[in-house]
Structure 1
Amino acid sequence: MKTDKNIAQYLVNKLEKEGVEYVFGYPGEQVLPIYEALRNSKIKHVLVRHEQAAAHAADCYARITGRYGVCIATAGPGAMNLVMGVATAYKDNVPLIVITGDVEKSQRDSDCFQQMDINGVFEPITLRSYYSCTPEKLENNIEEVFNYKKSGINGPFHINIPKDIQNKPMNIHHRTITKKKIGDVIESSILDTIKDIDDSIKPLIIVGSGVIYGGCIDELKRFVEKTNIPLATTFTSRGIISEYDDINLGLTGTRGTKRANYAAGHADLILAFGCRLSDRTLRHVTTKNIIQINTNIEHNHAGKFYNYNIKEFLEKINKKELPQKDDKWLHRINSQGEYPPNKIKETENLHPEEVINTILSKEDKNITYIFDAGQSPTYFTTNSKAEKPGQLLFSGGFGPMGYALPASIGASFATDDVIIACPGDGSIQMTIEELATIHTYKLPVIIVVLDNNLLGIIKQWQDMQKLPNYQVRLDNPDFIGLARAYGIDAEKITSIEQLSIKLDEAIENRKAKLLHVEVEDVPIPMPRN
């Protein structure tokens, strides 16, 4: 059926119909028709200052909402700049739609200006990379992307459209795109799981972000209520049940809580929902009796692996009569207590752990924390509790430097919370141009820069390996002057008391603010488990 829309208009209209509210991107010649379609749509475009930031912002938006984050860039260098952020999302199965323009179809295999094998680059870091070079292919591809999500399959999808195709008339065929099937939840697997729960004495649930992206938090809570099985989380699913609730043991694995790691090491059955069971998560697990329910077959690390839609599985098992475990196992776990707090030595500059503890003392349901690669994740991980999912955010499995600042942009459009971003002096300089985006959109982001004039983690690794400190010293700019040049209020912090006061003021004002804190060069504590 012919329409009065061109391909670019059809694409944007489809995004709009599927509930996309924001697109993070940077315009260029090969995406101008798409930008013209965006201009005439209800979708709000957020203009970042670097394409990497567009991908990180879309990633963080998706981590909080569970919905697709969408980013867009032009061909060649624009598309290549997205790679870091897309790889970050791929590693953590974050639902992302990545749209790129490309050179004209006839020039695809030439050596023309800005030509690059974009699909070849994106194939290893996306679930699918489509070359949508005809109206029929685009219709098919975009329908498939949304069907994957509806089937519970999450991760980044890439749609690459040649610029000459974008203005072509759109012929809609209204094909019936078969919903992507993972596997039917068969009765025998439900009954086997119930029997395993009944036979176990020390069961443990480990939950990953697949439960958040699969839209089944309520179903998980119901399952926990019915079975009374203790729950531990990966980092990306922290707060899925409040960490102030005794049933949630907190993070398990590297940097995990004492209770969660005790449970992981002594459990006789593990039920893993929506997590890939990485080496860091499995650090203390001894039992081979693991039942894993996941939409991604590549994440099969269990004796029993069910490639099911997690929501469907939980809905079906919750309808059954489930064995409720008594409190003996949970009491035994909770009797282990927690690791004692680290001893903070007096230092010339402020101690980084004391700074982070002060930031966390502002714990509130209406604050979202985002931290960057480096030393700060260790202190945030071990000293914090999450009240809700998406309250403590980190780039997880890939861990790139420069994540926090652009991620705070995506977070600001995903939640009404005040955002506190905590990059180090090394990390912030990887994406510092995004201060301009924060200023332009008047986002309530508080940036606390922890400055030790070092690449601290790298220095610590060199020290541990008895190597000389090489290429780890940073000659930093005037962060306060730089922030002010971008139009953001900034102050130097010289005491913990001042930090606390300035944080309170910034939270109350809900305006962008940069706080520059010089911290001592101290090594992070090694894992205590």
Structure 2
Amino acid sequence: MKASDLFVKCLENEGVEYVFGIPGEENADFVMSLSESKIKFILTRHEQGAAFMADVYGRLSGKVGVCLATLGPGATNLVTGVANANMDRSRLLAITGQTDSHLLHKESHQNMDAITMFKPITKWNWSIRNPQNIPEIVRRAFKIALEEKPGAVHIELPQDIAKKEADIPPIEPQRVFRSGANEELIKQAAKIILEAKHPVIFLGNGCVRENASQHIRKLVEKTGIIAMNTFMGKGVVSDDSPLHLHTIGIKDADHALLAIESADVVIAVGVDLVEYSPKNWNKKLDKKIIHIDFTPSEVYTYYRPVVEIVSDIEYAIDAILDELELQKKTHPELDVFPIKEIPELFKKIMKEVDERRDSFNDDKAFPIKPEKLIIDVRNALGENDILLSDVGAHKLWISKIYKTYQPNTCIIPNGFCSMGFAFPGAIAAKIVHPERNIVAMCGDAGFLMNIQELETAVRLKLGFITIVWCDLDLGMISMKQKNEFGKSVFTKFTNPDFIKLAESFGAVGFVVKSTEEFPKILEEAKAIKDKPVIIAINVDYSRNHVLLNDSHYEI
């Protein structure tokens, strides 16, 4: 068969359902082969949007999201989305076309070394030179993208190679099982936990993957140890749990930081240091850290595990629980779990977090305050509905205020942190979970970065909601400039008429005029099932100082 046909058959063999992207001249053979496949091609309006869609598809489906571009400018347009997926540990394959392989050594039209460009933002990438190697290259790409920690991979297919003949079949994927945790390290971890005076459980992005959440909840419930999560660990333990201190990750503005500072033992589970630097909570290097993750810990001055357990997280958690029970039987004096009484500091932290959020339940001021906006959105959504945050000041408010009950229902990009993520991401979320309400939260700057994908959403008849937080400013940058320099510069802009903008694409637009009408508009928007809805609302960001200087910090 033709090499491009073989490539597509290999993708089918891997269970690929969708390819997001844009056809081009140098990927034409691949696109034609794809048109004969059961794989659905989703035409996007920009390659960056395609990469963000593949990113979110990978997060929510557990499979590899696939995006496609041609050579040169098509490939460079993928870069931001691919880098975002890689740093957020999302499973993604980027496929790019290329000019004829005999032209690659010299100047030629749109020729650019995409392999070198993608190298620092992927786990692995390769350019196909022999069509007989396609099954090996595709299988290897998927294996690497899926193995912990997952991430992005890239394959380049030159147009002359795509036309050649190949007579080798795809390689069948094999499920890989990791071994259980080391028995001696489990014993050491259990002993440290039993002897701890103020242990805490610190949960990160790794806990969202591989169905670890239920095992971690069991650890929290059976031991009574207080837990907290990073932005990307939201929902691993429900925010309704009395043993959960919510989200940490905004440096001095975090209530949860008080708890982790008071801890003598930190059980760090699935924590990516890219999310939140240990320097913020282990400045004195006085914490006993138990590292539990799929991979060894990063080497970092402020993160020095005394025990490092490398295995599937769920295996490790279950083994620790079994060992705690065993040691309690053999050493009755160590029968300290479950902890009977939550420490007073932790009680006070939880009380103040809840009180501050709930104090805005009936706030009618307009422009709407961030807390009230998030409360109204939370009230409008079910436990398993999905909220996607873009990047900006609203991301910090969402992390602090939005109550999350299940993993992967509040998606906050917090590794690469690219603006423009949420809207195209919501398209993929609706494709993966058409039965759920999907809400993208965007600043008025980030929303317009990928506004062209509104046409994609309308064409696909996808009913989801985008809420645009309007303040005519790059709010987060403006806030930090004022905090450091006393003024902000070059951050102000104007906005379009969002109703006309939405309608010009064939979508539905609302502009909220009062805080009281916002919940009613949300309900009206939820009832629209066959087209995207844009809701623009003016937000009072005067309280952003709370994010950097928490008035409740000193307890």
- TM-score of the two chains, using structure 1 as the length reference: 0.90
Deviation at 1:85, TM superposition (A): 0.7
Q: Secondary structure of 1:389's match?
A: coil
Asked if 1:305 is matched to 2:325, the reply is no
1:410 partnered with 2:424: no
- Displacement of 1:120 in angstroms is 0.8
Q: Which residue of 1 aligns with 2:6?
A: 10
Conserved in 2, the CA contact under 8 Å of 1:147 and 1:179? no
Deviates further, 89-98 or 293-302: 293-302
Counterparts of 1:516 and 1:65 in 2: how far apart (Å)?
Answer: 30
2:42 to 25, 41, 46: 46
Closer/same/farther in 2, CA of residues 310 and 178 from structure 1, 3 Å limit = same
1:424 and 1:449 in contact (8 A); partners too: yes
Change (3 A) 1:53 1:490: same
Matched, 1:334 2:327: no
Instruction: Give matches, 1:251-330, under 5 Å.
Output: 251-254=247-250, 260-278=256-274, 280=276, 282=278, 283-285=280-282, 287-297=286-296, 299-300=298-299, 301-303=303-305, 304-314=307-317, 316-317=319-320, 320=323, 322=325, 325-328=337-340, 330=342
Q: What letter corresponds to residue 302 of structure 1 in structure 2?
A: R
Structure 1, gaps ≥5 residues long: none
2:235 alignment partner, SS class = coil
2:80 aligned counterpart, secondary structure = helix
CA distance in 1, matches of 2:297, 2:8: 32
Residue 124 of structure 1: CA displacement?
0.5
Deviation at 1:81, TM superposition (A): 0.4
C-alpha separation in 2, matches of 1:353 and 1:309: 37
Give a deviation string over 1:169-227, Cα, whole Å, max 9, x none.
Answer: 33437889999898874332222222222332332222222232334334434444444
- Given that 1:358 and 1:496 are in contact with CA atoms closer than 8 Å, whether structure 2 keeps it comes out as no
Q: What CA distance in whole angstroms lies between the structure 2 residues aligned with 1:29 and 1:311?
A: 47
Equivalent in 241, 244, 256 of residue 245 of structure 1: 241
Deviation at 1:296, TM superposition (A): 4.4
In structure 2, the residue matched to 1:488 is 507
Question: Is structure 2 residue 393 aligned with structure 1 residue 375?
Answer: yes
Distance 2:310 2:490 in 1: 46
SS in 1 for 2:443: coil
Q: Distance in 1 between matches of 2:482 and 2:146?
A: 49
8 Å Cα contact 1:250/1:256 also seen in 2: no
Structure 2: stretches of 5+ with no match in the other structure:
329-335
Summarize deviations over 1:349-369 as a string: whole Å, max 9, x none. Answer: 444443333223323224311
1:109 CA displacement: 2.2
Alignment of 1:24-423 (within 5 A): 24-148=20-144, 151-172=147-168, 185-254=181-250, 260-278=256-274, 280=276, 282=278, 283-285=280-282, 287-297=286-296, 299-300=298-299, 301-303=303-305, 304-314=307-317, 316-317=319-320, 320=323, 322=325, 325-328=337-340, 330-332=342-344, 333-336=346-349, 337-339=351-353, 340-341=355-356, 349-415=367-433, 416-423=435-442
Q: Which residue of 2 aligns with 1:452?
A: 471
Secondary structure at 1:526 match in 2: helix
Instruction: Indicate if the aligned counterparts of 1:147 and 1:180 stay in contact, CA closer than 8 A.
Output: no
Deviates more, 1:413-422 or 1:318-327: 318-327
CA–CA distance in 1 between the matches of 2:144 and 2:318? 19
State the TM-score, normalized to the length of structure 2: 0.86
Q: Which moved more, 1:278-287 or 1:485-494?
A: 278-287
Deviates more, 1:226-235 or 1:445-454: 226-235
Q: Structure 1 residue aligned with 2:494, among 475, 481, 484? A: 475
Q: Distance in 1 between matches of 2:315 and 2:137?
A: 25
Q: Distance in 1 between matches of 2:270 and 2:367?
A: 42
Identity of aligned residues (%): 29
**Could you tell me whether the CA contact under 8 Å between 2:386 and 2:438 is conserved in 1?**
yes
- Give, in angstroms, the shift of residue 315 of structure 1: 5.6
Distance in 2 separating the partners of 1:279 and 1:367 = 24
Amino acid at match of 1:284: W
C-alpha spacing 1:99/1:77, structure 2 compared with 1 (3 Å): same
Q: Which secondary structure state, in structure 1, belongs to the residue aligned with residue 242 of structure 2?
A: coil
The CA distance in 1 between the partners of 2:379 and 2:253, in whole Å, is: 19
* Cα distance change on mapping 1:521 and 1:295 into 2, 3 Å: closer
Between 498-507 and 446-455, the greater mean CA deviation after superposition = 446-455
Distance 2:132 2:211 in 1: 30
2:432 and 2:148 map into 1 onto residues whose CA distance is 21
The answer to whether the 8 Å contact 2:392/2:476 transfers is yes
Kindly provide the amino acid, as one letter, of the partner of residue 421 in structure 2.
Y
How many residues get paired? 525
Query: Which letter maps to 1:334?
Result: K
Mark the CA change 1:214 to 1:44 in structure 2 (over 3 Å): closer, same or farther.
same
Q: Which amino acid in structure 1 is aligned with residue 213 of structure 2?
A: I
1:79 to partner: Cα distance: 0.8
CA offset digits 1:304-351 (Å, max 9, x no partner): 334434355446556655467222464542354233427879866444
Q: CA deviation at 1:157?
A: 1.2
Task: Please tell me the residue identity of whatever aligns with 2:474.
Answer: L
